[in-house]
Amino acid sequence: MVQKKDVGKVEVPLPDNVALTVEGRKVTVTGQKGSISRAFENPHVSIVKKEKLLTLSTKSNRKKDVALLGTIRAHIKNMMKGVNNGVTYEMKIVYSHFPMSAKVSGNTVSIENFLGEKSPRYAPIKEGVTVKVSGQNVSVSGIDVEAVSQTAANIEQATKIKRLDPRVFQDGIYIIAKGGKLIK
């Protein structure tokens, strides 16, 4: 039987302030701010750690499996950035018709008086994410970029306007900055 050579191979250098462990297909990254674990379930991709270098490789010659190496590398880099620096999304409460307010209660964000509605709207907060409301500014932060971005999206989607002209009714809570960079 002929053994296949690695068709695709990607190497990720590990910074000094990050501890990374690999157990099968589960990768755990630990840093200054905490720890994140994630399982990569593709059977064609192998993950091997040697000292300060993480090697991702595939023996499959399918385009999809070779492209997946870059995706997994990006996920691992995001995990390393998150455990070192954290991730913060800044949001802004905007209203022109009715004064809207938001407050955090437990693991949900309650948005009251949105377009004069009597009942509040709710947005769930993912585990490991903190939401702070100060005046018109909302700050969403944590170490897992996926959980932080999903929580920000939940808040933004909770104030989505339906059946009204979006040119006139621009009320809502919108993401204005991701990781300190303003969104245009």
Give the Cα separation of 36 and 29 in Å (integer). Answer: 5
Both structure tokens of 111: 């948005």
What's the rounded mean pLDDT across residues 20-40? 92
Tens of pLDDT, residue by residue over 103-125, are: 999 999 999 999 898 999 999 99
User: In the 8-state DSSP scheme, what is residue 118?
Assistant: S
Give the Cα separation of 38 and 98 in Å (integer). Answer: 43
Q: Are 168 and 88 in contact (CB under 8 A)?
A: no
pLDDT at 6: 59
What domains appear along the chain, each with residue ranges and CATH number?
Answer: 8-85 (3.90.930.12), 87-182 (3.90.930.12)
> DSSP H helical segments within the chain, as ranges?
63-85, 145-158
Which amino acid is residue 94, in one-letter code?
Answer: V
Tens of pLDDT, residue by residue over 41-77, are: 888 888 899 888 888 888 887 888 888 998 999 999 9
Q: What is the pTM of this model?
A: 0.87
Give the Cα separation of 132 and 117 in Å (integer). Answer: 23
Sequence length of the chain is 184
